[in-house]
Amino acid sequence: MRNDKTKVAVVFGSRSVEHEVSIMTAMQVFKNIDRDKYEVIPIYIDKTGRWFVDKKLEKLESYKNLKLTDIKAPEYIFNVSPSVKALAPKSAFKFLNKISADIYFTAIHGTFGEDGTLQGLFEMADAAYTGSGVTGSAVGMDKIIQKSVFKEVGLPTVKYVWFLKSEWEDNKIDIIKNIEKELSYPVFVKPANLGSSVAINKASGVKELEGAINIASQFDRRIIIEEGKENIIEINCSVLGNSELIASVCEQPLGSEQMLSYEDKYMKGGKMKGMAGLSRLVPAPISEKLARRIQEMAKTAFRSVDASGVARIDFIVSEQSGDVWINEINTLPGSLSFYLWEKSGLDIDELIDRLINLGFERHKERKKLIFSYDSDLISEASKESEK
């Protein structure tokens, strides 16, 4: 019997502090993807970077071992050759039992999945995949670079400074002096390349600042310090598309700080909720004018970093003045921000379907580009060497 279903490989896990968050996102995809249209292939990457393929990996029970390093499933190797772009059992290199997919659904949050590395692997293999490409993923993961991009396109950001871990280790006194010169307390200390509020801390004085920097420096070689704002609310908006963009309704997450903690984001509302379990007001109780402004800013941010697929853009808004600052863009948001799209008239199965189609569309567009250039450079160089 012929199988005309599109093969969708859902890739999740990986060497990331957001490993468990990725598993929850993948579980939501497994639960809601249209099985009449798609044949699903679960690809789990464990915390050491090993790739596993097995149908039982669609079940949450497979991850009861909290260390997630002893998965009982066949281990595979991904071949990046464009003529292959498939997975083979680690023990068999002749690809007699290779597993191939029509498209790879990226569900990895954080490092080695959301930062452009996995996207680069798929680009080398000429494989279709969902979400942002190498550039959008890399820029969207880097809090320092994305702020520079946002400022370039006229999006307001809070004041910030950044420095290297090595600079902090060599000259803590001068680093602190510069922070206190440029910014006012309270400040928020963050690793430049990390998500889900991991290792992010608020500091209201020198002692807290030193401790927060020491924590952040364990997770990245660059640290960013952002000036805090008082009397603010957080407003988030999701954007969907490649070239033609649409924005979701806005949401107001309910938290006690300018920054929501990892626990706020992922540990509330049950183990399968992920970001969907966060307490929030959807739509956000803001004016229609402000909502439209934030939606347009979100689309500008999405386009400026060259994002694709779906992203969530986070803002903070002054309750007194109404001023808006962009906080960050998440190019692979937890739970795919499906809760925002449901309130915008797009159910999660439709969102998954749209992301797959956008992935194919982007891959088709990229295949039209020229990646080689006929030149006599080598022959001319050979002639020169023979002289």
- Please spell the DSSP secondary structure of 337-361, one letter per residue: GHHHHHTTT--HHHHHHHHHHHHHH
Task: Report which of residues 202 and 84 the model is more confident about.
Answer: 202
**329 with 355: CB under 8 angstroms?**
no
The pLDDT of residue 309: 98
Is the domain covering 230-359 a CATH 3.30.470.20 domain? Answer: yes
The pLDDT of residue 91: 66
Q: Which residues contact 253 (CB under 8 A, 6 or more apart)?
A: 234, 236, 260, 264, 278, 279, 280
**Fold entry, domain 6-129:** Rossmann fold (3.40.50)
Alpha carbon distance 176, 171 (integer Å) = 9
Query: Hey, do 6-129 and 159-227 end up sharing a CATH topology, with the first three levels equal?
Result: no
12-16, 242-246, 350-354: which range is least confident on average? 12-16
Residue 67: which pLDDT band, with cuts at 50, 70 and 90?
A: low
Residue type (1 letter), 378: I
The pLDDT of residue 262: 42
Domain segments of the chain: what residues?
6-129, 159-227, 230-359
Q: What is the pLDDT of residues 193-228, one digit of tens each?
A: 876 577 899 999 999 999 999 999 999 999 999 999
Q: What is the pLDDT of residues 171-190, one digit of tens each?
A: 999 999 999 999 999 999 99
**Domain range 159-227, CATH architecture:** 2-Layer Sandwich (3.30)
362, pLDDT greater than 90: yes
> What pTM, to 2 d.p., does this model score?
0.88
149, pLDDT greater than 70: yes
The pLDDT of residue 190: 96
124, pLDDT greater than 50: yes
Q: Which residues contact 97 (CB under 8 A, 6 or more apart)?
A: 88, 89
Residue 276: which pLDDT band, with cuts at 50, 70 and 90?
A: low
Average pLDDT over residues 275-284: 79
Alpha carbon distance 186, 181 (integer Å) = 13
